[in-house]
Amino acid sequence: MAEKHYTLQLNAKVQPLDRGDMFEDPLMELLEKEGIGEIDGGGTSFDQETGEIFYCDVEIYLNDDSAESREKLIKLVNKVGVPKGSFLIFIDGEEPDYDDEEADIPDSTKLEIGTLEGLRFSINGTELPEEVYKNNDINKVIDDLIDLMEAEKAGTYYSYVTRNTHTDLIFYGNSFAKMKEIVEKYAPNNPLCEKSLIEQIA
């Protein structure tokens, strides 16, 4: 059977290095262990003006195009853990010849995948007094929330994203509500969290 290409489109707002650490590397390890395929890089879609990240892609090649291998891939992706609203994208049937300009490229099949819920905690970077930014460190906010999330087994810190007006701290876990409760209890105790925003992103 021929090699089969899949694109794992992740509803994950994470930096490229974090995409590798949190998704590509663990999935590659599982694929190699099962002997069914490999990862061939990935990409990140973002707004060049604002810095906002929309989604990430991971390119996957399986050794064959069987339904059994596809089901194994889905199980491995779920084992790694990906956000709700992600998709596994592929051509159903034989792969077309992409080098042939006259080749008929069929529509892709998109399978929705993912179980994790996501939280974006946006720290206001422009509207607080200068002494607040001078006397407080966002890394402490990150470390504190990591400890609180881990203690409650609520979620995991995945990445940060610097936008024009905010710095986003990105968390994924089984329950947005539980993560939100932790952040809401913490925020009033840190001046840097004043005028911050909490948003569900998966």
Q: Please write the tens of the pLDDT for every residue from 167-181.
A: 999 999 999 999 999
Residue range 13-32, pLDDT digits in tens = 999 999 999 999 999 999 99
Looking at 97, 113, 129, the residue that finishes a domain is: 113
Residues 134 and 44 in one domain: no
CB environment 82-94: b (16+ within 10 A), e (fewer): bbbbbbbebbeee
Looking at 65, 83, 113, the residue that finishes a domain is: 113
Contact of 73 with 36, CB cutoff 8 Å: yes
Name the DSSP letter for residue 189. Answer: G
Q: What is the pLDDT of residue 108?
A: 86
- Record the pTM: 0.91
Residues 108 and 141 in one domain: no
Break the chain down into helix, strand, coil percent, rounded to 5: 35, 35, 30
Residue range 47-78, pLDDT digits in tens = 999 999 999 999 999 999 999 999 999 999 99
Residues 17 and 69 in one domain: yes
